[in-house]
Amino acid sequence: MTTRQTKYRICPLCEATCGLELVVDRREVTAVRGDAADVFSQGFICPKGVALAQLDQDPDRLREPLVRRNGTLLPAAWDAAFVEVERRLTPIIAQHGADAVAVYLGNPNVHNLSLALYGQALLRTLRTQNLYSASTVDQIPKQLAAGLMFGTFMSVAVPDIERCDFLLVLGANPFDSNGSLWTVPDFPGRLRALQQRGGRCVVVDPRRSRTAAAADQHLFIVPGTDAYLLMAIVYTLFDEGLVALGRLAGHTNGIAEVKAAAQPFVPAAVAPLCGIPADTIRQLARDLARAPRGAVYGRIGTCTQEFGTAASWLVDVCNVLTGKLDREGGALFPLAPAFAANTYGEPGVGRGVRIGRRHSRVRGLPEVMGELPCACLAEEIETPGAGQIRALITIAGNPVLSTPNGARLARALDSLECMISLDIYLNETTRHADVILPGLSPLEDSHYDPIFTQFAYRNAARYSPPVFAPPPDRPQEWQTLLRLTAIVAGQGAGADVGLLDDFVATTQVQRAVGDPRSPVYGRAPDDILAALVPRRGPERLVDLALRAGPYGDGFGAHPDGLSLSKLAAYPHGIDLGPLQPRIPESLRTPSGKIELAPQQLLDDVQRLRAGLGGAQRNGSLVLVGRRHLRTNNSWMHNLPQLTGGRPLCTLHIHPADAARLGLADGGVARVAARVGAVEVPVEVTDAIMPGVVSLPHGFGHDQPGTRLTVAGARPGVNSNLLADELALDPLSGNAILNGIPVQVEPAGAH
């Protein structure tokens, strides 16, 4: 009798969330391919998805807790590990308060159902002011701009690529990322389809990325100047009478203010700054305005820069002014089946978003989305006084490699009184921990995507049960998080996780029955809870959210609607159709309108204005990042399938700069910035513009005390040894990772 089976799993490795088909034989994966029947990804897969089997089988992946004894991390039983967490953590909370415990959330928190749903329980119980995450080295400027304009931090409009005919892409490389804050598996295929139906794509980027190479037009831009370019496009739209809001006119505030703000940014003044001729800028504005169906999309390159929030804001200002927002073929708000912030509450009576409700202790930086900039984590640990961070909990994060001035942060971690990590690897960050609590293989977890359905190119619902049964002797991550929650709540390491889970579910039910727009509004909470029996853990929360969501069965009110049971019967997912216009229903601003000119952003325009006519470039170099299809997070460097072939961690430099500096292809360069220096192999290429060099992030696997055998064999260098923790977009607190001033010379030159 054959023991081979076919299983389906949503890929958890990047935002594209492709449906995978896995062939398994007992406890082993023998093949991974794209699920051709998946309603959302239609069979697309990238090399990372194939490597999921290696992640499952990686001998370096932690399978039991590690506890530091006499300075050494040693294997421990689960109960002993939780007792150790309690022993170390509770005196700190008792003596110094919850703010003495910081939490850092890494990127996988949004790719893992347990972490996404139960991390909140820990945070709500601990109530620390010191919350940090990878958001502030990534996308928080876009979320802030969206929040100020549309009323929630998750109200990000995404291009309707299936019906779009003109796509302007800034600072993004979806050929390699398959979308970011835009979930779009098989972007290459969808771009080809756009071009085959006569559409055009223009990419603005300091690098000729694979996306730029496939586009119809590529414009090199000086790093950090996207906001200037976009302002000049806005100026042109007004100047040439191209503003046409269409249906949005009655739903938009602030048009006159935006027009006034754009006045200094004439294309001729902006062109020398951004390196794009004035005529080209004007033509871009005309092409966008005249395209019947088009959209502007900006991503990480526009976020991780000095004017990250302004650039993110101006992307949507362009979409609104040209009537492309909330229109078929333009940029639309997905309607996610569950957990979507902009489906709760009454449209038109939203509270909008608030920022700056508190500030960091040392530098006085404002919170955004409840978080402080991760660039100030080290100083908050190092600086004595009331409110000093004495303990840190990291959850699926490697901030030593992913946040600015990783060397300083690593030193700061060593000074902590206590560090607890939830992580599947002993890596450059968790090697500093006192206790490491590992999660399961993604193939031992179930999955529903609570986050990226909110940025999807098309509405859909999909659920994956575990491919392999979770090991009975190891807690699932949601159970680990609840045990930590019990510890910080003072209930001790032996608290009843089941009772805590009931409390979490009851809280969610009460929220649903109290929401006037919910199909279960006014229902008795006990009836709803009874209808969720016997589900527990994430499945109970997903079932509730689906049934009380916009497509839900309303617990009987709409019998044909969604529930988890119904969804589980469709292993390839349920298609919920193309994106539809949602304004004004999707808006949650206090005015019930699009706020095109939020005061915080108008104020920031003064900073932008100050840069007009600024110093021209004089042969100095700036560093930018780059993405590769074979890597996303640092731990992927431990998977042999993703690390073979040409080394990925090289310094890209233009031939003219290489010649001027005496650097040869294959040689080694020393790259120095204010905070540090690295030596890295050189790759000379005209795919990068003169004056700019590029390094990928997430490398630097040469630290002692880690357990990353494959990554350690090809360590690369940590680009965040060059990133300056003092250089931020002041509005969002996002680190500046694109446009870092650097000096480059042959290694050994001095």
Segment contacting ligand SF4 (CB under 6 A): 7-15, 113-121, 162-170, 530-538?
7-15
Residue 467 lies near ligand SF4 (rule: CB under 6 A)? no
Residue 108 lies near ligand SF4 (rule: CB under 6 A)? no
Residue 451 lies near ligand SF4 (rule: CB under 6 A)? no
List 11, 375, 673, 737, residue binding ligand SF4 (CB under 6 A): 11
Residue 46 lies near ligand SF4 (rule: CB under 6 A)? yes
Closest C-alpha to 121, from 421, 536, 501, 447: 501
645: amino acid identity, one letter: G
Please, which residue, 104 or 175, has the CB nearer to ligand SF4? Answer: 175
List 8, 9, 17, 140, residue binding ligand SF4 (CB under 6 A): 17
- List the beta strands (DSSP E) in 579-658: 594-595, 621-624, 651-653
Please, which residue, 178 or 225, has the CB nearer to ligand SF4? Answer: 178
H or E, element range at 682 = strand 677-684
Pairing, β 331-332 against β 391-395: unpaired
Expressed in angstroms, the distance from the first to the final Cα of the chain is: 69
List 22, 29, 45, 55, residue binding ligand SF4 (CB under 6 A): 45
Q: Fill in the per-residue mask, 181 to 220: x = in contact with ligand SF4 (CB under 6 A), - = not in contact.
A: ----x-----------------------------------
Least separation in angstroms between residue 707's CB and ligand SF4 is 23
Residue number of the CB closest to ligand SF4 reads: 49
Please, which residue, 453 or 589, has the CB nearer to ligand SF4? Answer: 453
Beta bridge partner(s), residue 437: 422
User: CA–CA separation, 172 vs 617, rounded Å?
Assistant: 24
List 54, 107, 135, 178, residue binding ligand SF4 (CB under 6 A): 178
Please, which residue, 18 or 376, has the CB nearer to ligand SF4? Answer: 18
* CA atoms 589, 592, 593, 598: torsion sign: negative
Segment contacting ligand SF4 (CB under 6 A): 11-19, 325-333, 392-400, 615-623?
11-19
Please, which residue, 382 or 444, has the CB nearer to ligand SF4? Answer: 444
Q: Report helix, strand and coil shares of the chain as percent, to nearest 5.
A: 35, 20, 45
Least separation in angstroms between residue 33's CB and ligand SF4 is 10
Least separation in angstroms between residue 628's CB and ligand SF4 is 12
C-alpha to C-alpha distances, 657 to 139, 174, 218, nearest whole angstrom: 31, 28, 21
Please, which residue, 108 or 552, has the CB nearer to ligand SF4? Answer: 108
Q: Which residues contact 68 (CB under 8 A, 6 or more apart)?
A: 74, 433, 434, 435
Closest C-alpha to 150, from 341, 368, 356, 337: 341
Please, which residue, 588 or 630, has the CB nearer to ligand SF4? Answer: 630
List 14, 22, 541, 736, residue binding ligand SF4 (CB under 6 A): 14
Least separation in angstroms between residue 53's CB and ligand SF4 is 12
Pairing, β 217-219 against β 200-204: parallel
Burial of residue 662, with CB atoms counted within 10 A of its CB: 0-12 exposed, 13-18 middle, 19 or more buried: exposed
Residue 13 lies near ligand SF4 (rule: CB under 6 A)? yes
H or E, element range at 268 = helix 267-274
**CA atoms within 13 A of residue 107's CA, in its CB half-sphere:** 21
Residue 518 lies near ligand SF4 (rule: CB under 6 A)? no
- Tell the residue number behind the tokens 């290489």, with chain if given: 658
* CA atoms 45, 183, 121, 375: torsion sign: positive
Residue 49 lies near ligand SF4 (rule: CB under 6 A)? yes
List 9, 22, 40, 48, residue binding ligand SF4 (CB under 6 A): 48
User: What residues make contact with ligand SF4 under the rule CB under 6 A?
Assistant: 11, 13-14, 16-18, 45-46, 48-49, 178, 185
